[in-house]
Structure 1
């Protein structure tokens, strides 16, 4: 085993590369769980299930059983599939449920407390994935998470800081206490024991999805709602289903991109971005040069405008996928920008189609046979709604904020949405999650994804370019400083050190406002080298770790 895998494709069997399989997650403990499953003969999906439940214990700010997400799967033989276990609006949800008497959004209502929660999808998603592709027994995949919750684990310095930071929220939403709260300040190395969560995981181990969506756990969720003005019902829980969907796919310079369809907006946006820059000589211009940044920003500005107008749940809205990803449409969108100056976002609208704090977590897994999983899951905000279900020990999401609470008003990430993403009972909210698998010459090439709210799409995009255009190793591509533009606000956000001072001056002289900020994204990815070894990128922005064998 090796942590923090780095190195490039410069030589055979680099000491940081592995043949048998690889797991990259946001938690060293979860990565170890996934690797042990692979070593026991489990496949990539088995490891993904075990990792997902382990993250619910050891990474509570985003790992979850009270949230939802997306999975992209590629078998060793080239079969591809995507699983949508995104949360849904409860049956009692209504279009204007977060507006005041004069129609203005009441921000806190969609962010905190029980009313902010959609119907969780994670448990149903893991059960569905295991039923279709799993190999090991379900109970064996739950055991590591149960043991971690029962016996506790030592928190990292980063986790101690987060738990202390969110103490006020936890106290406000959980007046009777929770395992995430303590009288004194949390410190690195403290043991976090979660007995109530262990009981919930035991119920899921014994009864599968019905152990969560029915029985005493479901009763606890409904009681939590009833006592605090939430609206998720027993029927909402029982009726929830994860859905297999056809991936959206496309090509970038010979690389086959396999990514998530709506209600993820990430896959379509990623394909649009790649098509937008395909005709420009990025490799010659160089990594984060002024020309490279200008083209990427202009592409991002147009793609995010399209996202706001055209993307939503395909079960409720006819998303024009083919039209949005059409080569001529994308090139036409890029034809309006000028090298002389920035295109003001106020002048950019969605294209005319001819007759479609940021906390999430991502992990990438490849097994011995070559099956691959790219899975992104979320509670939305860090620690979701802040509500821990009494007696069941898990956090509820605040995903309702990902709907267009009021079309044209921004959500917590500043993203605008339109009618396509308006609140409707039973509808899945639009997401930026972009789990992706890439093939080269018909063979597995890369497994990639990231958390980061609105920056997810651009972080995955830039990571792909870092490898394909700028010849970076997987670790270097992940580590590289990133920048982001999302149409509105009309600002180029860049990580500290991402753009040198001379390039900043050039961009600002053309009307590109550049603002520096902290970390963007937290990419975890796996690259298969030309010699058949797996090489990982574990993001140093977090406690992420890559393990291989």
Structure 2
């Protein structure tokens, strides 16, 4: 049997492979988390192992810009952001205009019916983070998705339908960002999205497939509505025009009245009527009481680089920094990209980080999040004690770390940089693709299914397989935990890199890998984004990877040490990133895996 023929490594296949495995490579003088890295071999080590292999899912040319750069999920949205900059807008203006445009051109995740997180670094180096994550409605309760026996109800009510939705935060958050840092008028910023909704946008092949795929769900959860369904009942095709008149009217109300145009008046009436019709629990009180929150960024260092990222209720920032601290002093450059040793320490770091995520992280307004302890050298060193290069750690034996004295109690990303050096990293979501599948009648916008991001029952996995605990239990007005990881990196006091992606639980590990691709493996921004990725999240205890992501030699070594490796045809993440080059130009890296597009000027 030849390992190179293996595509899906099932338990049966793993047994066969283990029965004929070669001995694990012996590692002597294993570096501890306080040892020093050695010289670089780069990611070309991958090609040395297998000259016929490619480290990329596909190749895409980088995009450069001297005055500004936008990298976003959809080409039309990226164009909107750059045009706003050309009119004198800053990175915040471009980010807001792009987010509203995405609500039109990318309904799977772009939204006004969801929420998100924004990380901003201004031209002087000041940093800010804005939390406009959705909140549980006041009528929500801890066991609202459980039956009388305490089991999760059938029909996945936290995924689909009206009861799955939290109170939306996008409009409030974007208005707050504009009031504090915007330059252009609110009217100017909203107009491109209104034009796209009224005049229509040509569907990409991917958007057409997405709308066709959810047709039955749209009919099921929106009886009597015709949103996103062709009049003649046929399937959508690439290039066909999607016109959204009701969404345009909603955007005009937001343009005229700001926050009030969504949380009050006609739009609010339409949203509440939809809730009443479908058994949802969002009320006018929930809308009135929703306010985005400015929070202190998670700021840590990695080999002299300053990493600025999102705090809870995003788990992404703390998780990313734990991952980087675990691997910082290993010689990843010498070992090479996706070598067995590099991969092994990354998997083991991911295993421990996701276990800590499940135990400790939640909405800081409701639970005490031990951020300082989770990022301390003492804690991480203790968590790493059972790491062994000869054998994979068993996830069943890994739980959230103990902290002495502590009392328990589909997504889209865009990156922006302007000519003055302001930078924005923004990730926003409806949760699953097209959210709850419910469209507000008369409003034309989709609602989120973010309630599933709570731990609806301790130990019960959500739609991404993530397991939660008490810290993320449902409570009225509480924000659900997120994996979103918008991140900005400084080098020598200057802007260096802007990172982020959608992808549920894979967001954290995708940002982790792309960061290392640039910093450790000498890739340019587009190469770092295009490079094949892998993911481990503690439970279930397996490593999934994009097909072709490891050489046969590396797979054999990892399997020999007890790692469960699953190749998948599905891609992981959709990174949209920006790198500031030594010559002062921006390089945009937009993911080749989808319609993502970088536009510079």
TM-score if structure 2 supplies the norm length? 0.88
Q: Deviations over 1:91-134 (max 9, x none)?
A: 00000000112111125110000100000000001000000000
Structure 1 residue 38 corresponds to structure 2 residue 89: no
Structure 1 residue 23 corresponds to structure 2 residue 73: no
Distance across 2 between alignment mates of 1:262 and 1:161:
34
1:502 positional shift = 1.5
Distance across 1 between alignment mates of 2:201 and 2:226:
16
Distance across 2 between alignment mates of 1:349 and 1:439:
33
Instruction: State the SS of the aligned residue for 2:76.
Output: helix
What residue number does 1:533 align with? 585
1:6 positional shift = 4.0
What residue number does 2:437 align with? 386
Structure 1 residue 448 corresponds to structure 2 residue 492: no
CA contact (8 A) 2:60 2:592 kept: no
Distance across 2 between alignment mates of 1:90 and 1:177:
25
What residue number does 2:267 align with? 217
1:19 positional shift = 1.3
After TM superposition, which residue ranges in structure 1, 4 or more long, deviate above 3 angstroms?
4-7
Correspondence 1:44-193 to 2 at 5 A: 44-106=91-153, 108-182=156-230, 183-193=233-243
Instruction: State the SS of the aligned residue for 2:146.
Output: coil
Distance across 2 between alignment mates of 1:415 and 1:38:
39
Distance across 1 between alignment mates of 2:405 and 2:309:
25
CA contact (8 A) 1:48 1:365 kept: yes
Which of 293, 315, 318 is matched with 1:268 structurally? 318
1:28 positional shift = 0.3
Structure 1 residue 335 corresponds to structure 2 residue 385: yes
Which of 345, 353, 358 is matched with 1:295 structurally? 345
Q: Deviations over 1:420-454 (max 9, x none)?
A: 00000000000000000000111100001000000
CA contact (8 A) 1:178 1:388 kept: no
Structure 1 residue 253 corresponds to structure 2 residue 303: yes
1:82–1:257 CA distance, 2 compared to 1 (3 A): same
Distance across 2 between alignment mates of 1:52 and 1:274:
29
CA contact (8 A) 1:5 1:535 kept: no
Distance across 2 between alignment mates of 1:268 and 1:33:
32
1:335 positional shift = 2.2
Instruction: State the SS of the aligned residue for 2:414.
Output: strand
1:355 positional shift = 3.7
Distance across 2 between alignment mates of 1:179 and 1:105:
31
CA contact (8 A) 1:30 1:54 kept: yes
What residue number does 2:17 align with? none
Instruction: Count how many residue pairs are aligned between Structure 1 and Structure 2.
Output: 536
Correspondence 1:114-513 to 2 at 5 A: 114-182=162-230, 183-355=233-405, 359-513=410-564
Instruction: State the SS of the aligned residue for 1:351.
Output: coil
Once structures 1 and 2 are overlaid, which stretch shifts more, 58-67 or 503-512? Answer: 503-512
1:5 positional shift = 7.6
Distance across 2 between alignment mates of 1:129 and 1:325:
29
What residue number does 1:544 align with? 596
Distance across 1 between alignment mates of 2:420 and 2:104:
28
Instruction: State the SS of the aligned residue for 2:107.
Output: coil
Once structures 1 and 2 are overlaid, which stretch shifts more, 268-277 or 525-534? Answer: 525-534
Distance across 1 between alignment mates of 2:466 and 2:212:
28
Distance across 2 between alignment mates of 1:450 and 1:71:
13
For structure 1, which runs of at least 5 residues remain unmatched after alignment? 8-15
CA contact (8 A) 2:300 2:307 kept: yes
Distance across 2 between alignment mates of 1:336 and 1:131:
50
For structure 2, which runs of at least 5 residues remain unmatched after alignment? 1-58
Q: Deviations over 1:276-297 (max 9, x none)?
A: 0012110000000000110000
CA contact (8 A) 1:5 1:547 kept: no
TM-score if structure 1 supplies the norm length? 0.97
1:332 positional shift = 2.1
